[in-house]
């Protein structure tokens, strides 16, 4: 592990994406605790990509155009679904009525699904991480798992900070109907843009 790996990983994690959007929206609508759970869910959603890369499944996925396209468009469809639900005030920015709040498990599962359906993560683990594994490494799989663990820790930390900041703004935003309407439209547009970007992703 070196400073270059840490710097690039931080740049990847901190750049705006679906996971960050989900965590921020959860913080705005449901507060700090739920935002932390969303950050945890996004982090757990990385695990299948990590395991796929470590076992070679990611290479098979990217070798098969059909498999890659299937995962990609499942992710696009889910992002468009999030955009529609957010626009209709029923998505991640919807403030749940008392007694109808999503359970901890539901928040975690929803956030994990977002990253699970993101083929860019498998591309990251397949194309980026191996660059930091020496050709003569005696245990390359172990090294990949260690680097992946660092990446996951950075993901949780950065997303948790995003969510905590959003939660601090919660009362101010929720008290303004104009601000909430603007945020719903902005997040809906963000999900559409992310879906379009994912749709244009090539192997």
Residues with Cβ within 8 Å of 94's Cβ and at least 6 positions away in sequence, in order, are 29, 85, 86
Distance of alpha carbon 49 from alpha carbon 17, whole angstroms:
16
**Res 98: pLDDT:** 47
| pLDDT more than 70, % of the chain | 69
> Does 5 fall in a domain?
no
* Domain membership flag for residue 8: no
Distance, in Å, from the CA atom of 50 to the CA atom of 149, rounded to the nearest integer, reads 9
In a domain? residue 194: yes
Q: Would the pLDDT of 178 be above 70?
A: no
pLDDT of residue 43: 95
- Using alpha carbons, select from 88, 130, 91, 94 the residue that is nearest to residue 114: 91
Phi-psi region of 56 (alpha: psi -120 to 50; beta: other; left: phi over 0): left
Q: What are the tokens at 53? A: 């890369």
Q: How many domains does the chain have?
A: 1
- Could you tell me which of 41, 164, 157, 43 has the C-alpha nearest to residue 103? 41
**Token code pair at residue 161:** 């900070």
**Structural domain harbouring 77:** 17-199
Whole-number Å distance between alpha carbons of 92 and 30: 9
Report yes or no on 4 lying in a domain.
no
Sign of CA dihedral 146, 50, 152, 133: positive
Whether residue 152 lies inside any domain: the answer is yes
Instruction: Give the Cα separation of 145 and 124 in Å (integer).
Output: 14
Choice between 197 and 104, residue whose per-residue pLDDT is larger: 104
Nearest to 44 by CA among 104, 123, 132: 104
The predicted-structure confidence for 37-70, as pLDDT tens digits, reads as follows: 999 999 999 998 888 777 765 555 555 666 667 7
- Quote the pLDDT of residue 42: 93
Q: How many angstroms separate the CA atoms of 186 and 82, rounded?
A: 12
Q: Over the stretch 57-111, which tens digit does the pLDDT of each residue have?
A: 555 555 566 666 776 677 677 667 767 766 766 555 555 544 456 788 989 998 9
Give domain status of residue 77, yes or no.
Answer: yes
pLDDT digits (tens, 9 = 90+) for 143-155: 888 888 999 999 9
């Amino acid at each position: 592990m070196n400073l270059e790996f840490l710097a690039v990983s931080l740049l990847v994690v901190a750049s705006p994406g679906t996971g960050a959007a989900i965590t921020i929206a959860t913080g705005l609508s449901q507060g700090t605790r739920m935002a932390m759970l969303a950050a945890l869910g996004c982090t757990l959603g990385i695990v299948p990509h990590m395991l796929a890369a470590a076992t070679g499944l990611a290479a098979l996925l990217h070798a098969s155009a059909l498999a890659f396209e299937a995962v990609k468009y499942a992710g696009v469809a889910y992002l468009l679904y999030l955009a529609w639900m957010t626009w209709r005030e029923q998505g991640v920015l919807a403030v749940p009525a008392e007694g109808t709040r999503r359970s901890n498990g539901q928040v975690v599962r929803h956030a994990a699904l977002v990253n699970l359906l993101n083929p860019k993560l498998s591309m990251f683990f397949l194309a980026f991480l191996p660059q930091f594994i020496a050709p003569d490494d005696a245990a390359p799989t172990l090294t990949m798992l260690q680097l992946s663990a660092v990446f996951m820790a950075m993901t949780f930390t950065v997303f948790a900070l995003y969510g905590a900041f959003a939660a601090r703004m919660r009362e101010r935003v929720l008290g303004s109907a104009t601000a909430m309407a603007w945020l719903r439209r902005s997040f809906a547009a963000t999900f559409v843009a992310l879906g379009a970007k994912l749709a244009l992703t090539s192997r």
